[in-house]
Amino acid sequence: MIIGNVTRDPDSRTTSGGQTVALFSVATNRAWTDPSGAKKEQVEFHSVVAWRKLAEIVSQYVKKGAKIFVEGRLQTRSWDDPSGQKKYRTEIVAENIIMLDRKPAADKVSEEAPAPQEAPAAAEPEINVEDIPF
């Protein structure tokens, strides 16, 4: 499980077998204080792969800069590069992705419809996790 920011828009493809796959990268930050009291920070970049329906949803809704939660399993692939050298890549095969950013109100209103009056925050309906489409 990781929470981080998407570093590039997903690259969506269809395999020769007809399955949709989306590839993207997520950056996570780790901050700590070393023994001398100096604050340190490290950024880690994670390759993420989503398959089938999750890949379609990712391609449609996930964009560079978005904050997301990714739950999945680690998988290491290997291949030979053109010079014959063995290469390895460890990636997260996503099983669940949750968008953590709130969608801007401007995206919810079409240009033709008048903008609705904004209700007070207390009047917002409770969001049920089962109602979220991804």
Examine residue 134 and state whether it is found in any structural domain, yes or no. no
CA distance 51 to 41: 32
Q: Please check whether residue 127 lies inside any domain of the structure.
A: no
Tell me the per-residue pLDDT of 67-92, one tens digit each, with 9 for 90 and over.
999 999 999 989 898 998 999 999 99
Question: How many domains in the chain?
Answer: 1
Position 52 in a domain:
yes
Sign of CA dihedral 104, 31, 129, 91: positive
Q: Is residue 130 part of a domain?
A: no
Beta-carbon neighbour count of residue 94 at 10 Å? 21
Instruction: Report yes or no on 124 lying in a domain.
Output: no
Q: What does pTM read for this prediction?
A: 0.68
Task: Tell me whether residue 114 is in a domain.
Answer: no
List, in order, residues 6 or more apart from 132 with CB less than 8 Å away.
Answer: 98
39-58: per-residue pLDDT in tens? 999 999 999 999 999 999 99
Residue 58 structural domain: 2-31+39-100
Task: Provide the CATH number for the domain around residue 85.
Answer: 2.40.50.140
Is residue 13 in a domain?
A: yes
